Amino acid sequence: MMIQHIRRQRCLTSILLIAVLSGCMGAAIVPTTTPKAIFIIVDGIPADVLENTYTPILDSIADKNGYTRAYTGGEIGGESQSPTSSAIGYNNLLTGTWANKHNVYDNQIGDPNYAYWDIFRMAKEHDPTLQTALFSTWTDNRTKLIGDGLEEAGGNKLDYTFDGFELDMERFPHDPLRNYIRVIDDLVTDGAAGYVESNGPALSWVYLEYTDSVGHGYGDGSEMTAAVQHMDGQIGKIWSAVQKRHQAYDEDWLIMVTTDHGRDDKTGQGHGNQSARERTIWIVTNSDDLNERYYQRPAIVDILPSITTHLKLKIPEHIRNQLDGHSFID
Ligand SMILES: [Zn+2]
């Protein structure tokens, strides 16, 4: 990841031009471009590892100054502080709230509080015709976190799901070094890229796990670097699909890539505690509507309101008032 130091400046000339044009056109019909969003969680990649690894695809997505460090784990020392663990991190993003609300405190996901809606429920409640999709190497993301189809989680179903492969031990035998996770991530990536290109769902989540497997197995070092570069190539397939949609249709695509937690300082094998390295995450996006919040260390809970802003989702007031995050997109 190349770190950009130069802040994007708003182009005054183009703003003036738009003002002049809209003045000339009077009540001309505003073109309706359809907003679309896809968010990708790649598991357990510390910000320093990403920044020191050559990732040309993420660099190209972040071309409009769309890279920032961010944080997870809630407010340190406050009631929202929570372990820097995987399912907690995903649900911080999915609900825009911290664990003291969504009640996921470990990877067992025993009793999620569905009163804090996930982003797919928000999309469906806004407009049931919006197409939703999930591509994932961890089935619990759908069945437990989203609570897909569960009455207590709103009863909605994702329109398209591509997951469950890690439960198929015959097709994907589990090896101790967890290479099967890399194989499944590759499959999930291809599934996502193909479906996005052909169907262009309004809201998609892609979840890839292998970087965390390598982190646990090897810690910091060349194996982790290689896994991050492999991940960059996977993102490239999805980014290419998004760009093809953008060229072929009148669609305005927002892509966000992030991670769910960092790793420990000592070896890089563990995570879950409150060290700065474990709490520090990062966000890569193609958005050119980023506001100051994005550059002032946003939180993982800011991603949901940013995506809903892009998609122009109307969130019921009692749900919106519960959110812990704020949009970093204008
Ligand atoms: Zn994780």
For the chain, give every domain's residue range.
35-320
Look at residue 258 in the predicted model and tell me its pLDDT: 99
Measured in angstroms, how far is the CA atom of residue 224 from the centroid of ligand 1?
14
CB 24, CB 202: distance < 8 Å: no
Judge residue 319's burial from the number of C-beta atoms within 10 Å of its C-beta, 0-12 exposed, 13-18 middle, 19 or more buried.
Answer: middle
Strand partners, 282: 69
> How many A from CA of 260 to the centre of ligand 1?
5
Cα-based torsion angle of the residue sequence 104, 106, 109, 110 in order, rounded to the nearest 10 degrees: -90
Question: What average pLDDT score do residues 253-261 get?
Answer: 98
Q: Using the mean position of ligand 1's atoms as its centre, give its distance from the Cα of residue 162 in Å.
A: 20
Over 70: is that where the pLDDT of 29 sits? no
* pLDDT of 30: 62
Instruction: Tell me the residues surrounding ligand 1 (ion) with CB < 5 Å.
Output: 43-44, 86, 212, 260
| Local confidence band at 32 (pLDDT 50, 70, 90 cut-offs) | confident
pLDDT given at position 1: 83
Q: Does residue 191 register a pLDDT over 90?
A: yes
Report residue 143: phi and psi, to 5°.
-75, -35
In whole angstroms, what is the distance from residue 264 CA to residue 216 CA?
A: 11
Ligand 1 centre distance from Cα of residue 261 (Å): 6
Q: What is the pLDDT of residue 2?
A: 78
pLDDT, residue 129, reads 98
Residue 24 CA to ligand 1 centre (angstroms):
53
The CATH homologous superfamily for domain 35-320 is Alkaline Phosphatase, subunit A (3.40.720.10)
Q: Give the CA-trace dihedral at 224, 225, 231, 232, to 10 degrees.
A: 160
User: Helix %, strand %, coil % for the chain, to 5?
Assistant: 45, 15, 45
Instruction: Please list, residue by residue across 12-22, b when 16 or more beta carbons sit within 10 angstroms of its beta carbon and e when fewer do.
Output: eeeeeeeeeee
pLDDT value at residue 20: 45
* Each residue's pLDDT tens digit, 51-103: 999 999 999 999 999 999 999 999 999 999 999 999 999 999 999 999 999 99
Lowest mean pLDDT: which of 9-13, 80-84, 293-297, 325-329?
Answer: 9-13
pLDDT at 27: 52
d(CA 214, ligand 1 centre) in Å: 11
Look up the pTM and report it.
Answer: 0.92
Strands 34-42 and 132-136: unpaired
What Cα–Cα distance (Å) separates residue 164 from each residue in 167, 191, 234?
6, 13, 19
One-letter amino acid at 85 equals S
pLDDT at 14 over 50: no
Distance in Å, CA 320 to ligand 1 centroid: 27
